[in-house]
């Protein structure tokens, strides 16, 4: 729900300040609506239902994968498309991937969101409503800002959402924020009080190739980005996850693996190789190619994991549902 509108409405109705906390606590526990809030007066519940929509988002489409992954395309009150995904794991984890912007201004060439027109930053309430949608289905315990948009370009609203996530069941230490390498945002995140994880989308070991894949590299070079990540590590003492999407014939050669191993200090970085969920721009590297790439990394002293691919049968890659939806 729009938490600012909620507080203004309660103030207009002359309600005590604790009412907003009561309403939020019910929502954070997965309440389906105002009717469930038994310690809030019935007349006030009716007033809130009429004046403050229970969610800032409308569900436009849902898709459920064979592996249990659930993807939702939402629309904001002003018609902007955004996506979020619930990933269910066999060990019991329930992780949510949320968006921080509608569209993205940074046009990474492998990303479906990058082909969309940038809309706007999301508010903290719109971020939280993605989470609350899934919380109403089942308890959740992990979250990544790895959906549509660059979270560090909307850091005020992202951190305002992060502050409330523990109420929903997601601690800050189980919250990850992914960036393409937005250096001012990395430094601001390092200075914040929240012990979140940082993930860097790197995808190439040298500047020319990275600029081809990710135009933001023309603004912040690999050297500048890694220096910022190392400042984050010094401030938080939390390793940085490096995401590396495997693109067939583009960034998956032997020389790329060697260059990556020489670039990354294993004390500071954990490397995650990502099988590509095709969006039309590239082909994904084969399993054999990914295995060979990983072997070269390990020969040179850098440990890498391969991300478990989820939701391929429902267009789970970021931006795919929104890119196919009518404007």
**Does position 115 have pLDDT exceeding 80, yes or no?**
no
Interacting residues of 35 by C-beta distance below 8 A, sequence separation 6+: 45, 49
Q: What is the pLDDT of residue 218?
A: 96
- Per residue in 20-64, pLDDT (tens digit) is 999 999 999 999 999 999 999 999 999 999 999 999 999 999 999
Q: What is the pLDDT of residue 321?
A: 53
Instruction: Name which residue leads in pLDDT, 303 or 194.
Output: 194
**Does position 327 have pLDDT exceeding 60, yes or no?**
no
Instruction: Name which residue leads in pLDDT, 117 or 180.
Output: 180
d(CA 306, CA 298): 13
On the 0-12 / 13-18 / 19+ scale of CB atoms within 10 A, 136 is: middle
- Per residue in 248-282, pLDDT (tens digit) is 999 999 999 999 999 999 999 999 999 998 766 79
Catalytic residue among 104, 108, 229, 318: 318
**Residue 169 near residue 140, CB atoms below 8 Å:** yes
Strand partners, 95: 87, 142
**Does position 95 have pLDDT exceeding 50, yes or no?**
yes
Q: What is the pLDDT of residue 281?
A: 78
Q: What is the mean pLDDT of residues 218-226?
A: 97
Superfamily of domain 63-324: Aldolase class I (3.20.20.70)
**Residue 298 near residue 271, CB atoms below 8 Å:** no
Q: What is the pLDDT of residue 315?
A: 58
Task: Report CA torsion sign: 154, 156, 159, 160.
Answer: negative
Helix 18-28 crosses helix 3-12 at what angle (to 10 degrees)?
A: 140
Instruction: Name which residue leads in pLDDT, 112 or 234.
Output: 234
Q: What is the pLDDT of residue 280?
A: 66
- Per residue in 130-154, pLDDT (tens digit) is 999 999 999 999 999 999 999 999 9
Does residue 83 have an active-site annotation?
A: yes
Q: What is the pLDDT of residue 112?
A: 78
**Does position 200 have pLDDT exceeding 60, yes or no?**
yes
**Residue 180 near residue 150, CB atoms below 8 Å:** yes
Q: How many helices (H) and strands (E) does the chain have?
A: 11, 12
Helix 183-191 crosses helix 222-236 at what angle (to 10 degrees)?
A: 10
Q: What is the pLDDT of residue 202?
A: 97
- Per residue in 233-243, pLDDT (tens digit) is 999 999 999 99
Catalytic residue among 25, 62, 83, 206: 83
- Tell which residue, 70, 309, 274, has the closest CA to residue 178: 274
Calculate what percentage of the chain has a pLDDT beyond 90. 87
For 97, the 3-state DSSP assignment is: strand
Q: What is the pLDDT of residue 238?
A: 96
- Per residue in 178-199, pLDDT (tens digit) is 999 999 999 999 999 999 999 9
Domain limits, the chain: 1-54, 63-324
Q: What is the mean pLDDT of residues 95-118?
A: 88
| Half-sphere CA count of 245, side-chain side, radius 13 A | 20
Q: What is the pLDDT of residue 111?
A: 86
Q: What is the mean pLDDT of residues 100-121?
A: 86
Q: What is the pLDDT of residue 312?
A: 61
**Does position 319 have pLDDT exceeding 50, yes or no?**
no
Please, what is the Cα angle at 10 between 4 and 13, to 5 degrees? 140
CATH number, domain 1-54, options 3.30.1540, 1.20.120, 1.10.150, 1.20.272: 1.10.150
Domains 1-54 and 63-324 alike in fold = no
In degrees and rounded to multiples of 5, residue 30 shows phi and psi of: 100, 20
């Amino acid at each position: 729900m729009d938490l600012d509108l909620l507080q203004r409405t309660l103030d207009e109705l002359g309600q005590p300040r604790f009412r907003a906390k009561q309403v939020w606590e019910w929502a954070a526990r997965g309440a389906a609506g105002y009717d469930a809030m038994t310690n809030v007066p019935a007349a006030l519940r009716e007033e809130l239902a009429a004046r403050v929509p229970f969610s800032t988002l409308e569900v436009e489409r849902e898709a459920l994968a064979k592996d249990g992954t659930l993807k939702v395309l939402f629309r904001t009150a002003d018609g902007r498309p955004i996506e979020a995904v619930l990933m269910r794991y066999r060990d019991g984890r329930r992780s949510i991937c949320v968006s921080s912007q509608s569209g993205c201004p940074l046009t990474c060439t492998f990303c479906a969101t990058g082909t969309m027109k940038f809309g706007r930053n999301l508010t903290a309430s719109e971020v939280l409503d993605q989470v609350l949608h899934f919380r109403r289905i089942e308890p959740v315990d992990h979250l990544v800002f790895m959906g549509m948009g660059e979270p560090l370009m909307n850091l005020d609203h992202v951190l305002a959402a992060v502050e409330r996530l523990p109420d929903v069941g997601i601690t800050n230490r189980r919250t990850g924020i992914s960036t393409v390498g937005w250096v001012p945002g990395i430094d601001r995140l390092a200075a914040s009080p929240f012990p979140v994880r940082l993930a860097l989308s790197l995808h190439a070991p040298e500047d020319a190739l990275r600029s081809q894949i990710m135009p933001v590299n023309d603004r912040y070079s690999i050297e500048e980005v890694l220096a910022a990540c190392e400042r984050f590590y010094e401030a938080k003492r939390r390793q940085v996850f490096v995401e590396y999407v495997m693109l067939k014939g583009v960034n998956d050669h032997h020389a790329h693996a060697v260059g990556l191993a020489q670039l990354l200090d294993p004390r500071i970085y954990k490397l995650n190789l990502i099988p590509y969920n095709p969006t039309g721009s590239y082909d994904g590297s084969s399993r054999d190619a990914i295995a060979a790439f990983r072997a070269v990394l390990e020969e040179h002293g850098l440990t890498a994991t391969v991300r478990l691919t989820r939701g391929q049968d429902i267009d789970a890659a970021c931006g795919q549902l929104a890119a196919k939806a009518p404007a």
